[in-house]
Amino acid sequence: LAATQTIAIVGAGYSGALLAVHLSRRPGVKVTLIERSPVFGLGLAYGTTCPMHLLNVRSGRMSAFPDDPGHFVRWLAEHEPQLADPEGFAPRMVFGRYVRALLQEAVDAAEGRLELMAGEAVAVDAGPDQARITLADGRKVSADRAVLALGNRPPGEPDPEFAKVPVDRFLNDPWAPGALDKVKPADEVLLVGSGLTMIDVVLALEAQGWMGRALALSRRGLLPRAHDPVQAHAGPNPPPDETLSQRLKAFRRRIGERGWGAAMDEIRPFNQAVWRALDTQERRRFLRHLRPWWDVHRHRVAVGVAEGLRGLFESGRLSVAGGKIVRVEPGSAGVLVDWRPRGSREAVRAHFERVINCTGPLADLSKSPEALPRQLFESGVVRADPLRLGLDVDAGGRVIGRDGRVNPRLYAIGPLTKAESWEMVAVPEIRSQAAELAERLTA
Ligand SMILES: Cc1cc2nc3c(=O)[nH]c(=O)nc-3n(C[C@H](O)[C@H](O)[C@H](O)COP(=O)(O)OP(=O)(O)OC[C@H]3O[C@@H](n4cnc5c(N)ncnc54)[C@H](O)[C@@H]3O)c2cc1C
């Protein structure tokens, strides 16, 4: 069959790779998948080489395909039989191998209709007839439609306080290749942030033989909760159709009855619908008051990870505090940090050999210093959503430009589209989004 429709996807993490897999199964479609990092199919989450970085979702829920929930566990049974437990938490790098294998299978089966193109996209323009993508080396790709699958961005510009500190003392991007190599085995470390990124960093430091002590500091000092050792298997239970504060009351009651883990799982299938029904003001209230609590209960860590952390807390090597950094200055062989514990007026001063930014991926794409996001915002091809969670897109994933018009040639997928549905960061949601978008693009 001659190709009749062309689609270019920028970014080959899980979102871009799975969309390409779905599209490649449809006759008459030719796909170009563009990725700037050396390996396709991994992205930030699954590109880790640290075996201690485990999935934070049980394997039984990590199938790449919404209509085949057992697919990942069957793949494990064939390729990593010791991990083939639907209730278990596999290493993230193993999941990365799974996605890469799916992509390779799709390339082989598509007989030239799925092209993997290595390179960095620096510009995307979507005109009336075509979408055009320019790569850093000058190559150009034209397609009927383009999809942005840029995913989790590296952290943006550091807090100006840390700009005073030498770059080998303040590690702004802990995911940059070799960044953590700068940490010496006995270093006293300040981790700015106490969420999943902080936990990833601590596990990676442990794996490289670090034996020092660390303080994880965040505004509230909240730590992600752990999954229940035994899965509670909570069925769907729709939240009441009421105001946000009444919903919260009902949710609290449910926690009393079922425990917070099951209460959280029960509402997960309805989270997108609830978010879509909130107006901007209510969404803002949710983000301001509830988000920190939401994040630590919704995005839980694997049981084994929680056990490892417990050992670090008990030995005094890791502690977590709520507070605010007020001043930073270079110290002798390190960094002097004045920080004010939560609820206190007095700042305390501490010395650290290394400070690591663990605040996580940059959410506000308009602040990204990278070439493509800058071009997209400066040209007005995209605009930020009102709450700066990502890109403004319509319910079908089509990008809305600065002029407020929906662009019929440009789409977005994955965490970039969080503003539209809120719950669009993890595989169980993105896999449905990828399947549905493939359907829509080829309808
Ligand atoms: C550390 C971490 C751990 C996670 N763990 C889990 C988990 O256990 N379970 C779960 O369900 N979810 C997890 N998530 C959520 C995760 O967001 C999704 O699972 C999914 O990986 C998102 O994929 P993505 O393709 O949208 O983004 P990404 O994985 O970030 O991929 C985006 C890709 O786009 C490429 N790219 C960006 N800009 C350009 C450009 N200009 N030109 C070319 N290529 C470009 C990048 O190199 C990257 O490969 C985790 C997230 C993080 C950050």
Q: How many A from CA of 361 to the centre of ligand 1? A: 10
**Would you state the pLDDT for residue 102?**
98
Distances (CA, A) of 184 to 83, 307, 368: 33, 24, 30
Quote the CA–CA distance of 394 and 399 in Å, as a whole number: 7
128, HSE (Cβ side, Cα atoms, 13 Å): 0
DSSP E strands: which ranges in 175-251?
189-192, 214-218
Rg of the chain (C-alpha set): 22
Q: Which of 50, 46, 175 minimizes the C-alpha distance to 103?
A: 46
Rounded to two decimals, what is the model's pTM? 0.95
CA of 118 to the centre of ligand 1 (A): 17
Round to the nearest angstrom and report the end-to-end CA distance of the chain. 17
11 C-alpha vs ligand 1 centroid, how far in Å? 9
- Among 140, 147, 150, residue to substitute to test ligand 1 (most atoms within 8 Å of Cβ): 150
The atom of ligand 1 lying closest to the CA of 11 is 34
Q: Where are the extended beta strands (E) located within 201-317?
A: 214-218
Please name every residue paired with 146 in a beta bridge, in sequence order, or none if there are none: 8, 410
**Model pLDDT for residues 55-84, shown as the tens digit of each residue:** 999 999 999 999 999 999 999 999 999 999
| Order of all β-strands in the sheet with 114-118 | 114-118, 29-35, 5-10, 145-148, 406-412, 398-400
3-class DSSP state of 6: strand
Ligand 1 lining (C-beta closer than 6 Å)? 10-16, 34-37, 43-45, 55-57, 92, 120-121, 149-152, 200, 361, 372, 414-415, 425-427, 430
Question: Between the CA of residue 353 and those of 16, 241, 391, 437, what are the distances in Å?
Answer: 39, 51, 38, 47
Per residue in 307-338, pLDDT (tens digit) is 999 999 999 999 999 999 999 999 888 999 99
Interstrand relation of 354-357 and 170-171 (parallel, antiparallel or unpaired): parallel
Size (the chain), residues: 443
Other residues' Cβ atoms within 10 Å of the Cβ of residue 173? 14
Q: Which two tokens stand for residue 65?
A: 């395909």
Amino acid at 19: L
Q: For ligand 1, what atom is nearest to the CA of residue 361?
A: 53
Give me the amino acid identity at 218: S
Along the 443 residues of the chain, how does pLDDT read in single tens digits? Answer: 455 899 999 999 999 999 999 999 999 999 999 999 999 999 999 999 999 999 999 999 999 999 999 999 999 999 999 999 999 999 999 999 999 999 999 999 999 999 999 999 999 998 889 999 999 999 999 999 999 999 998 898 888 899 889 989 999 999 999 999 999 999 999 999 999 999 999 999 999 999 999 999 999 999 999 988 776 667 888 877 788 888 888 888 988 988 888 888 888 889 999 999 999 999 999 999 999 999 999 889 999 999 999 999 999 999 999 999 999 999 888 999 999 999 999 999 999 999 999 999 998 999 999 999 999 999 999 999 999 999 999 999 999 999 999 999 999 999 999 999 998 889 999 999 999 999 999 98
